[in-house]
Amino acid sequence: MRHWVLITGCSTGIGRALVPLSRAAGWGVVATARQPATLAGLPAGEDLRILSLDVTDVASIEAAARACADLPLRALVNNAGYGQVGPLELLRPEELRAQFETNVIGLHSMTNAFLPLLRREPGARILQVASMLGRLSIPLAGPYNASKHAVVALAETLRLEIGREVAVVLVEPGAIQTEFRETLTRAWGDLPERARGTRYEGILEKYKTIRKDRSERHALDAETCARKILAALVAERPPRRVVIGKDAFLAGKLKALLPAAWWEAILRRAYGLR
């Protein structure tokens, strides 16, 4: 019998790349997005269902759970999310709230809604996609840092609480090539106007240059990242953590080894902060 996985955030990036990889591995996929039209390019088949899903909308989540009730759902990949950028001093409360609604509350709501379905299947697993920024923080990404720290805490707590019938896998990617474009599209907004005349005006321009350079030169492509996630998805014994990318591995080690003052000095210099 075919195993099924529901993946959130399939319109672009990691989620989109994971859909064909999972199908090629013999899994059925429930691919979800806020706008199902963005998934129109996925080849149809008995191993694919496309659902409209907004993880910030309880009614949408409940409808998705009902739509999956007839499936032998073995896995949930909570991948939907975005990164709000900008200095905390200029951050609007509604921007912080929106970041947590999607990245944290949405993930939590999806987990609780689908746990009853997952518990029906032996070997079920939940993959919570966090980030290396769930273990460390960089400047000008405070809301995203905070949301991914929360995802790490929720995943580790859930693993302790729910017992061994459903495995909880914490996925911690480093920089992904799609991230820069998507971040600027959704979260840049009117930041340049808000920053004009403040100490952050030049800092934001440097930040944009740094992120673009790192995205082009050092970031993983979404498919490479998705292949690492697939390995955990199909594993007989899923790992507790999947750290993806040299930057994620090295940054975590460096932060753990260096005195805090040295680590902060490195980040300030890298981002043009004084």
Rg (CA), the chain: 19
pTM for the model stands at: 0.94
Is 207 annotated in the active site?
no
Give the model confidence (pLDDT) of 76-122 as tens digits. 999 999 999 999 999 999 999 999 999 999 999 999 999 999 999 99
Name the residue type at position 48.
Answer: L
Two structure tokens written together for 158: 């859930």
CA 212, 214, 220 angle in degrees (round to 5)? 110
Per-residue pLDDT band at 179 (split at 50, 70, 90): low
Residues 6+ apart with CB under 8 A from 250: none
CA 64, 78, 39 angle in degrees (round to 5)? 60
Please name which of 107, 66, 79 lies closest in space to residue 19, comparing C-alpha atoms: 79
96-105, 195-204, 211-220: least confidently modelled range: 211-220
Over residues 56-83, mean pLDDT: 98
Give the model confidence (pLDDT) of 131-172 as tens digits. 999 999 999 999 999 999 999 999 999 999 999 999 999 999
Q: The CATH number of the domain where 65 resides is what? A: 3.40.50.720
Domain count for the chain: 1
Over residues 175-201, mean pLDDT: 78
Over residues 242-248, mean pLDDT: 93
Residue 124 has pLDDT above 70, yes or no: yes
Two structure tokens written together for 233: 């998805």
Annotated catalytic residue, options 144, 200, 207, 271: 144
Per the structure, the complete domain to which residue 119 belongs is given by 4-270
Please name which of 183, 263, 176 lies closest in space to residue 218, comparing C-alpha atoms: 176
